[in-house]
Amino acid sequence: EPEVTQTPSHQVTQMGQEVILRCVPISNHLYFYWYRQILGQKVEFLVSFYNNEISEKSEIFDDQFSVERPDGSNFTLKIRSTKLEDSAMYFCASSENAGETQYFGPGTRLLVL
Amino acid sequence: GQNIDQPTEMTATEGAIVQINCTYQTSGFNGLFWYQQHAGEAPTFLSYNVLDGLEEKGRFSSFLSRSKGYSYLLLKELQMKDSASYLCAVRVLYGQNFVFGPGTRLSVLP
């Protein structure tokens, strides 16, 4: 069964450093999403992406964040200058069409020191 | 604003039936999804309602009442592996993203 994959599974970085989180969505899906989950808290929406552009973003997704689809398979989330409060699990998800069931990847656990 | 409420924790016995409730007040509504999340893992899709009524998928059923802003997930014949958090997520009208509730942590005891 097709699934969303994410790399790395864990990332430790120093405050102020840039990180890039990678995702490979399910191949026939057209809509891609990033969510985050701070330890012990609820899953929060960051951004959705369709047709090579951002379709929706939350207040969390400020100028420090960017997303890109650099090729036909990868979807990346970049955090330009990480802060301590960026420590969280970051989930990538994809759906075949807008508003349909979203399938989540296994997540990248980011720790900012 | 968007507000979704779920009980924080529930406990049930192996073999029993448990109902996990979710209430929502959102600026729009275009479907409600239930996900299961084991600790440290990704949410996995369980069930979806967009119209009022009951949707059944094996041991899992989900119910929706749009007029009441209410849904529940029913788990039958509980197994130890059902110990997990259960997340209620609303797709807000005209939006593509989900708004997630805080999740209900279910413990299944022998």
Q: What is the pLDDT of residues A93-107, one digit of tens each?
A: 999 988 788 999 999
Sign of CA dihedral B12, B79, A41, A53: negative
How many angstroms separate the CA atoms of A70 and A48, rounded? 16
Chain A hits for B38, Cβ within 8 Å: none
How many angstroms separate the CA atoms of B16 and B39, rounded? 22
- Cβ distance A43 to B96 less than 8 Å, yes or no, reads no
- Cβ distance A107 to B42 less than 8 Å, yes or no, reads yes
Chain A hits for B28, Cβ within 8 Å: none
Residue B83 phi/psi, 5-degree rounding, is -65, 115
> What's the CA dihedral at A71, A28, A109, A22 to 10 degrees?
0
Residue-averaged pLDDT of chain B: 94
- pLDDT of B94 reads 58
> What's the CA dihedral at A23, B93, A51, A26 to 10 degrees?
40
Cβ neighbour number for residue B5 with a 10 Å cutoff: 14
Tell me the residue length of chain A: 113
Closest CB from A42, A101, A104 relative to B103: A42
High-pLDDT (> 90) share of chain B, %: 83
- Cβ distance B100 to A107 less than 8 Å, yes or no, reads no
Closest CB from B31, B101, B103 relative to A99: B31
* Over residues B85-101, mean pLDDT: 86
Closest approach of B89 to chain A, Cα-based (Å): 9
- pLDDT of A106 reads 94
Helix (H) or strand (E) holding A28: none
Closest approach of A39 to chain B, Cα-based (Å): 9
Closest approach of B100 to chain A, Cα-based (Å): 6
- pLDDT, tens only, B22-52: 999 998 898 999 999 998 888 999 999 999 9
- Cβ distance B99 to A99 less than 8 Å, yes or no, reads no
Query: Is there a contact between B46 and B62 (Cβ–Cβ < 8 Å)?
Result: yes
- Cβ distance B96 to A103 less than 8 Å, yes or no, reads no
Question: Could you give the C-alpha distances from B37 to A4, A9, A62, B24, B102, in angstroms and in order?
Answer: 16, 17, 27, 20, 12
Query: Is there a contact between B2 and B88 (Cβ–Cβ < 8 Å)?
Result: no
How many angstroms separate the CA atoms of B99 and B26, rounded? 9
- pLDDT of A72 reads 79
Closest approach of A103 to chain B, Cα-based (Å): 7
- pLDDT of A98 reads 81
